Amino acid sequence: MKSKVVLAFSGGLDTSFCVPYLINEKGLEVHTVIVNTGGFSDEEAARIEERALSLGATTHTCINAVEDYYQRGIKYLIFGNVLKNNTYPLSVSSERFFQALNIVEHVKKIGAEYVAHGSTGAGNDQVRFDLVFEVLTPQVKIIAPIRELSLTRQQEIDYLIEKGFDFSWEKSKYSINQGLWGTSIGGVETLKSSGVLPEEAYPSQVTNNGVERIKIGFEKGELASLNGEKMDPVSIIHKLHNTASKFGIGRDVHVGDTIIGTKGRVAFEAPAPLITIKAHHLLEKHILTKQQLYWKEQLSNWYGQLMHEAQYLEPVMRNIEVFLEDTQKFITGEVEVELRPYHFTVLGCNSEYDLMNSKFGEYGEVNKSFTGQDVTGFTKVTANPLKIYYSIHGKEN
């Protein structure tokens, strides 16, 4: 009997090449798997399955991991207000672990001796997939044909034609990776520091040129309602995307350090993540204490960095998640957001746990819990360490 290989399959040129290559050159029985983390419809999934089987795959499996991705990943990115380099909501990098994890489960289920993916040797995804496979299935051998053979696009097409698969391989001008937490866009413009993507490069085009206000409800830090209508978080994310993308909201370009040490630049479109994170953060600023906000920011930055660099399995991630979850006990309320073409504004919030409570005073207006003399004494005590320092070092400064 032939040995089995589970191939992470997307239906694109690279993974399509891998199917006949693994069958003909490696002598393996290929079982393709695609893991849906919110990036495609049922119709698209059916077309991908048809292609996999026509290429010679013995079986094809589509795994829906959207809810798992939210519960074990996105939820904590919201709790942490995670934006890498204050810009990027980890739209693609956060989903790769959950795709790899589900592929591992399928490897175990069918008893495969090999696992394969179509990553090249130039990006982050090869590390993300390899690391999960190495840790969770160390006995299973990894095959990455595109990386190992250093193939050009034309060489892949020629091989497929030689094997009788003359599909249309017209290269799209832009590389699009779409998921529940946003879409990344790569093209010739993102390969250089000064390139600017044209309007048509973005998947969503502006069709609403007006102004719209929405209200987002949170319960214990999680998305709970939209415009007063209760619904589950995943549905709210989808609905936010459909509403805000019509304004062209959520577009930006992320520049950062890749896992393999180079600088990378990618455009993205993530209206739902950016609006959700900014609305959630505003609510936290009203409800959490100064120290909670400070330490949350420190740990959240590390959480996002580790998620981006494929370190989701690092035990400290579970430790940080406990902290983040604990900070969300009182993050309940409603936030109003205004949408305009290419822009959104977080207007204000309402919460029974709001620490901006007029019972104790109104900033810049009136004090209700202390007197002017109290402030005078407080300032003297606060100034004392600096007075001592400058009495010694005054001439030097």
pLDDT of 342: 96
- Asked if residue 367 is part of any domain, the answer here is yes
* Among 162, 192, 213, residue at a domain's last position: 162
> Into how many domains does the chain fold?
3
Give residue 250's domain range: 176-288+331-350
Same domain, 14 and 119: yes
pTM value is: 0.94
**CA 66, 68, 69, 73: dihedral to nearest 10 degrees?**
160
pLDDT digits (tens, 9 = 90+) for 103-153: 999 999 999 999 999 999 888 999 999 999 999 999 999 999 999 999 988
Q: Please report whether residue 87 resides in a domain.
A: yes
Task: Provide the pLDDT for residue 148.
Answer: 96
Say if 366 falls within a structural domain.
yes
Q: Do residue 157 and residue 60 come from a single domain?
A: yes
Whether residue 373 lies inside any domain: the answer is yes
Q: Tell which of 162, 189, 222 closes a domain.
A: 162
Residues 105 and 198 in one domain: no
Residue 71 has pLDDT above 80, yes or no: yes
**CA proximity to 117, closest of 146, 138, 94:** 146
Alpha helices (H) in 288-315, listed in sequence order:
290-308
Domain containing 104 — which CATH number? 3.40.50.620
16 and 63 assigned to the same domain: yes
Lowest mean per-residue pLDDT among 22-26, 184-188, 233-237, 268-272: 184-188
Indicate the pLDDT class of residue 260, thresholds 50, 70 and 90.
confident
Kindly tell me the burial class for residue 283, based on how many C-beta atoms sit within 10 Å of its own C-beta (0-12, 13-18, 19 or more): buried
Same-domain status, 344 and 365: no
Residues 95, 211, single domain; the answer is no
Question: Is the pLDDT assigned to residue 361 strictly greater than 70?
Answer: no
Query: pLDDT per residue over 145-201, tens digit each?
Result: 999 999 988 999 999 999 999 888 777 788 889 999 999 999 999 999 999 999 999
**If you ran DSSP here, which 8-state letter would residue 199 be given?**
G
Kindly state whether residues 68 and 183 are assigned to the same domain. no
What span, in angstroms and rounded, lies between the C-alpha atoms of 351 and 357?
Answer: 11
More confident residue, 71 or 369: 71
- Let me know whether 138 and 223 are in one domain: no
Q: Are residues 136 and 206 in the same domain?
A: no
The pLDDT of 242-255, averaged and rounded, is 97
